[in-house]
Amino acid sequence: MNFVKGFTFLLSRGRNSHGPGFSSQETKASLLQMKESTGCDTAVIAFEALQDTPQSEEINYKGPFIPTRDELLDLIAYAHSIGLRVFLKPMLNCKNGVWRAHINFFDLEVVCEPKWSKWFESYEKYLLFAAEIAESSGCECLIIGCEMVQTERKETYWRELIAQARKVYKGLLAYNTDKYQETEVKWWDALDVISSSGYYPFGKWEENLDRIEAVVKKFGLPFFFAECGCMCQKGCSVAPNDWTYKGELDLDEQARYFAEMFSACEKRDWVGGFVFWTWLSFAVNGTPGDAPEKNAGYGVFSKPSEKVIRQWYDSCPQA
């Protein structure tokens, strides 16, 4: 796998569920701006299915909140036409707002209780929907799931899912586990690439890279950070994954965090790249309508961190 200089391009209608289409000119303008602003060479095109609660068996991947097959094919073709590689990333969230890492059921299936078997049956339909699109459009990688921590212990189910996905999609398969979980996934060998969300605290990168390195060497597979990021609030880099954190606006906090991350990772030749979280499809200039200097979230447009990313991507020796 070639080194990944990536950014997540999150397909969302933003505040307006009837906003621009997922392959509209506005969406394509945002994608082009992402490439030109950050110097990325890979767009991880992400979209989100929904289940009602963490204990719901049914996954809904059809409706105005999710792109259609034709919209995805059109947008992927456009991304390829402007020189981007595309990794397709079907994601799953809970409608009630609970983080997907908490999707969970009894290990022993019980009558009248929601079941793992039913959930995986539903997830397989969603995954194969994405796999067919990835194959038809020539995506360079399919990320088969993201941060579903409690599901990851169900090794037999995941191995069967991967086998079914390979019948449809012939490219590289990866799974995006959550931070600290790299050592817990037992089925990396069924995939082509190991990936994780690298939201590690400022000052803690070296010790976590040591831990991940052992996993990479054990399985002998390529590795990249399928997500990484930090908000722009004073003190937030001690828990960069905490999107609920509230602090004083500090644009330099994000830039310092990325500089340390790059410095630590460039010493490890097994780190195969980064995918920053996130660039929003509905927002030209990469922000949800707010001026960059007022946007304390994960966006990087027109912030000091954008220059850090661009300079590192432009000079990246592994690229």
Structure tokens at 171: 């490219």
The mean pLDDT value of the chain amounts to: 94
Q: Which residues of 189-219 are buried (b: 16+ CB within 10 A; e: fewer)?
A: ebbbbbbbbbbbbbeebeebbeebeebbeee
- Name the band, by pLDDT with cuts 50, 70 and 90, for residue 19: low
Facing residues of 7 across strands? Answer: 43, 276
- Name the band, by pLDDT with cuts 50, 70 and 90, for residue 285: low
- Name the band, by pLDDT with cuts 50, 70 and 90, for residue 316: confident
Contact 91, 61 (CB under 8 A): no
The Cα–Cα gap between 193 and 176 comes to: 9
CA distances to 85, 205, 226, 276 from 313, rounded to whole Å, are 15, 19, 16, 12
Write down the domain spans for the chain: 4-315
What is residue 12's predicted lDDT score, i.e. its pLDDT?
Answer: 84
Mean pLDDT computed over 306-311: 96
Four-residue CA torsion sign, 144, 149, 150, 152: positive
The Cα–Cα gap between 20 and 58 comes to: 27
What is residue 21's predicted lDDT score, i.e. its pLDDT?
Answer: 84
Residue 33 has pLDDT above 90, yes or no: yes
Contacts of 302 (CB under 8 A, 6+ apart): 285, 286, 292, 293
Mean pLDDT computed over 83-99: 97
The Cα–Cα gap between 281 and 9 comes to: 6
Mean pLDDT computed over 151-177: 98
Mean pLDDT computed over 66-85: 97
The Cα–Cα gap between 188 and 218 comes to: 10
- Kindly report the backbone phi and psi dihedral angles of residue 16, in degrees, each rounded to the nearest multiple of 5, phi listed first: -115, 110
- Name the band, by pLDDT with cuts 50, 70 and 90, for residue 292: low
Residue 289 has pLDDT above 60, yes or no: no
What is residue 15's predicted lDDT score, i.e. its pLDDT?
Answer: 45
Architecture of domain 4-315: Alpha-Beta Barrel (3.20)
What is residue 196's predicted lDDT score, i.e. its pLDDT?
Answer: 98
Contact 111, 172 (CB under 8 A): no
Residue 244 has pLDDT above 50, yes or no: yes
Structure tokens at 147: 């941060």
The Cα–Cα gap between 30 and 22 comes to: 11
Residue 295 has pLDDT above 90, yes or no: no
- Name the band, by pLDDT with cuts 50, 70 and 90, for residue 319: low
pLDDT tens profile 94-146: 999 999 999 999 999 999 999 999 999 999 999 999 999 999 999 999 999 99
Mapped onto helix, strand or coil, the DSSP state of residue 101 is helix
- Name the band, by pLDDT with cuts 50, 70 and 90, for residue 287: low
As a whole number of angstroms, the longest Cα–Cα distance in the chain is 58
The Cα–Cα gap between 279 and 288 comes to: 10
Q: What is the pTM of this model?
A: 0.96
- Name the band, by pLDDT with cuts 50, 70 and 90, for residue 20: low
The Cα–Cα gap between 63 and 18 comes to: 11
